[in-house]
Amino acid sequence: MTESAEKKSSPILISLAWLIVILPTLWGLNYTVKNALKLFTNNTPAPTATK
Amino acid sequence: MALAFLDRQHSIAPTGYSRWLVPPAALAIHLSIGQVYAFSVFKNPLLALQAADGSHWNLKAVGYIFSIAIAFLGISAALFGAWLERAGPRRAMFYSALCFGLGFVIASFGVSSHQLALIYLGYGVIGGIGLGLGYISPVSTLIKWFPDRPGLATGLAIMGFGGGAMIGGPLANNLMAYYKAAGQPSIPYTMITMGGLYFVFMMFGVFTIRIPREGWRPAGWTPSQKKSALISTNNVAVGKAWLTPQFWLLWIILFVNVTAGIGILEQAAPMIQDLFHGAVTPTAAVGFVGLLSIFNMAGRFFWASTSDFLGRKATYFVFFTLGAILYFVLPLTRQEQLNSIPLFVGIAVVLLSMYGGGFATIPAYLKDLFGGYNVSAIHGRLLTAWSAAGIIGPLIVNGILDHYVETHQPRENAYPLILHIMCGLLVIGFLANLLVRPVADKHWLPTSTPAVPETPSH
């Protein structure tokens, strides 16, 4: 059998493999971004003159 | 032989196997073992535990769990790197999964019986060996599958290690909350569950990983005819590589890059609160740590893949020039001076992206200098720089902070000194990078050397 006639990895299989690692990463990223946004809410720097 | 499917010859890719299945396999390992960066979520629950005699563990004793794990990461990567080259990535990944999962289970018994030594042994020593094996196992395989983009390939995998904390942190918190609500012992049950989940997830990597056939090349790709003196077409065995000046210059480069990053990472939450008194709540400070972890992860992919175009030496020059300038400027953003939280955060995230980038670009730098033959083993030995930085970095940061507290000086005044020391370290890194030259031909392996190391290369 020639190389070109050999069975190639299915694009569906490749997509599934990537989904297996991407989904938990997105879950963690979403959780982290939600926390990180708290840095920019209700945070007004105290004016230096008051110190 | 039992477990023969783990052998190198059983993991050779069939014709038509897509190389794009290999990065998810590597990511499954790195996203799992990257959990170690989120170990701090167990700190407070562990400190709150009480033994039968009413005693508690202190912060220092609990802190050693993470330190032991990182130390054993470096030790095992250095010791088992040459074995990994012969045994193949699948067997190494399997042992990594076994050690990492088992480490959690043993640690859970340590928590249940309130024996810290058992946690040190489980999560620290056995889990740490799993970290080291897992960290280096996909590196040379990825480089072989992606000879056209080695930086992108290793950057993808090592990005997973940075992202592992983003999964491990919330996973542990949610599991502990679930078991607590169910009236079960929350930490031991969480650890056993995580050990099982990570083992299964890592086994996906074990079964998916393949090594390319001898002589395989990406379709339509031919090695570049544009010669760079720093990209060797020859190979150097690990036993010779670690005796070359190039190895030790790269060791210094990794060491200073990691130490400087730890200068921010070690104290990120208290630092931003100390430098901007009253303007940053503890919740927002946790958000800042999260932001740093995102840029640490993204930088691993961005900088490593950029290095395929810029070149490794030029990429590290960016880290060490831009990094030194930014470390110098960072303390000037504090409340008493520029008083700019966005500027402080902006600079810190760029610095953390370069910290991650330094980790992720080093395997490709090693491959350029020493060839792909023993790159995992050489990378393993180089990771001792990480272990050393993991000890020296916190010593510098905590030592200076302790001195300021003991001498009743404001803590915030310590940060400019700490950050300027990190700036100085990056200047040392700049000089080390400047001195990197091609490896002398006396160290090269004969061109007839087999593709797979047959004997210990020590």
Residue B1's pLDDT is 57
Closest residue, chain A, to B200 (C-alpha): A20
Q: Which residue in B has a C-alpha nearest to residue A43's C-alpha?
A: B279
Q: CB–CB of B286 and A38 under 8 A?
A: yes
The alpha carbon of B291 is separated from its chain's Cα centroid by a whole number of angstroms, namely: 18
Q: What is the 3 state secondary structure string of B148-200?
A: CCHHHHHHHHHHHHHHHHHHHHHHHHHHHHHHHHCCCCHHHHHHHHHHHHHHH
Please report which residue ranges of B311-442 form alpha helices under DSSP H: 312-329, 341-370, 375-382, 384-406, 414-434
pLDDT-derived band at A39, boundaries 50, 70, 90: confident
Q: Among all residues of chain A, which has the CA nearest to that of B35?
A: A28
Is residue A15 less than 8 Å (CB to CB) from chain B? no
Distance from CA of A49 to the nearest CA of B (A): 9
What tokens does B25 get?
């396999």
Q: Nearest 5°: CA angle at B215, between B211 and B221?
A: 100
Distance from CA of A17 to the nearest CA of B (A): 6
CB–CB of A48 and B170 under 8 A?
Answer: no
Contact A31 B170 (CB under 8 A): yes
CA distance B383 to B238: 13
Per-residue confidence (pLDDT) for residue B265, from 0 to 100? 80
Whether residue B49 contacts residue B114, with contact meaning beta carbons closer than 8 Å, is answered with yes
For A43, the token pair is 């945070």
Q: What is the pLDDT of residue B227?
A: 67
pLDDT at B38: 85
pTM of the entire structure? 0.85
Q: What is the pLDDT of residue B393?
A: 86
Residues pairing with B12 in the sheet: B211
- Which site among A43, A44, A50 would you substitute to test the B interface, given the most B Cβ atoms closer than 10 Å to its Cβ? A43
Closest by Cβ to B339, choosing from A32, A33, A48: A48
User: Quick check: B163 and A29 CB within 8 A?
Assistant: yes
B23 CB contacts (<8 Å, ≥6 apart)? B142, B153, B156, B157
Amino acid at B359: F
| DSSP letters spanning B212-257 | PPTT---TT----SS--TTS-SS---HHHHTTSHHHHHHHHHHHHH
Q: Give the residue from A19, A28, A30, A31 showing the smallest Cα distance to B204.
A: A19
Structure ipTM: 0.82
CB atoms within 10 A of CB B366: 30
Dist CA A39 CA A47 (whole Å): 18
pLDDT tens for chain B, 458 residues: list them. Answer: 567 888 888 899 998 899 999 999 999 999 999 999 888 888 888 988 888 888 888 877 888 898 899 889 999 999 998 899 889 999 999 999 999 999 999 999 999 999 999 999 999 999 999 999 999 999 888 988 999 998 998 898 889 998 898 899 889 989 999 999 999 999 999 999 999 999 999 999 999 999 999 888 888 888 776 667 778 778 899 899 999 999 999 999 999 999 999 878 877 888 998 999 888 887 788 788 888 889 999 999 999 999 999 999 999 999 999 999 999 999 999 988 999 999 999 999 999 999 999 999 999 999 999 998 889 899 999 999 988 888 888 888 888 988 998 899 998 899 999 999 999 999 999 999 999 999 998 888 887 665 555 444 43
Beta carbons of A21 and B28 less than 8 Å apart? yes
Find out whether B362 and B254 touch, Cβ atoms under 8 Å.
Answer: yes
B276 touches chain A (CB under 8 A): yes
Query: Among partner residues B15, B28, B345, which is closest to A39 by beta-carbon distance?
Result: B345
Instruction: Give the model's pLDDT for residue B13.
Output: 92
Please indicate if any CB of chain B lies within 8 Å of the CB of A44. Answer: yes
